[in-house]
Structure 1
Amino acid sequence: MDLQADLKWIHKELDKIKDPVFIEAIKNLLKSKKNVAAERISIEQYNKEIDESIAQIEKGEVYTHQEVGERIKQWGKQ
């Protein structure tokens, strides 16, 4: 993988984009990547969140694959 070549290609493709919605999506993607790296959690917090997730599953507080698909379709309509 040639990182410099990839970056050059990405810059070239970004210069061609005129769709403001797509540009906003790219901005959000880059911002989320930055935030994730800056907001690392402790192992204790990680384990607490895992335990909470397991408890939700055991209580049946879950969505099926089909339900998630329907929710995603609704997001697109908003």
Structure 2
Amino acid sequence: MDLQADLKWIHQELDTIKDPTIIEAIKDMLKYRKKTASQRISVEQYNKEIDVSIEQIENGKTYTHQQMGERIKQWSEQ
């Protein structure tokens, strides 16, 4: 596929997503891409990201390895 076809497919897929966890993951990927390899985050930002991760764990916003395997299978079936 060419780039335009890939972008069109991505747009179409994004329009069908209803799972907020997937939306958050996509948002995180898009935010992360803006950081270049040469940029280092501050200690404060690093600690903030760790705190957010800990909060997600404490609130049960996690998946087991097996659950993720099942989710990935579902994604590939769509």
Bin the TM-score by the shorter chain: 0.3 to 0.5
TM-score, normalization by structure 2: 0.46
Q: Kindly name which structure, 1 or 2, has the bigger radius of gyration based on alpha carbons.
A: 1
Instruction: Give the structure with the larger helix fraction.
Output: 1
